[in-house]
Amino acid sequence: MYLLAGPERCKADKYVAKTIAKSIGIKYFSKKEIAEKIYQVFSPGESYTLTSIKSTLSNIYTEIMYDKTPKATDLKDFFEVYELKLTDKITGKRSKAYHLIKKLL
């Protein structure tokens, strides 16, 4: 980040990482901000396969320009989860899934 900003920008921002990031257009995310988006898509009481969770989180992260790699386990930061296996009605394949019990934030 310091290399992107250059010495003049760093000095002007008094070498404060958050200020430098803001001035060169890097956005910091609060957990609450991400939680709002996640709570719009995922609902307590529902079950989701880990594959679908990862795919949905990928879409959310892309939409808000959050550069973290999405993992199904990210939901554990926002929901109390119960791990289970779901059977696909068409193929009969069993997949790992999470049943979302309640919101944590």
On whether the CB atoms of residues 44 and 101 are closer than 8 A, the answer is yes
> Given this model, what pLDDT does residue 19 score?
74
The pLDDT tens digits for 28-40 are 677 888 999 999 9
Q: What are phi and psi of 61, to 5 degrees?
A: -60, -40
The pLDDT tens digits for 47-74 are 999 999 999 999 998 888 787 899 999 9
Q: Is 39 exposed, middle or buried (0-12, 13-18, 19+ CB in 10 A)?
A: middle
Percent helix, percent strand, percent coil in the chain, to nearest 5: 45, 20, 30
Count of residues in the chain: 105
More confidently predicted of 2 and 103: 103
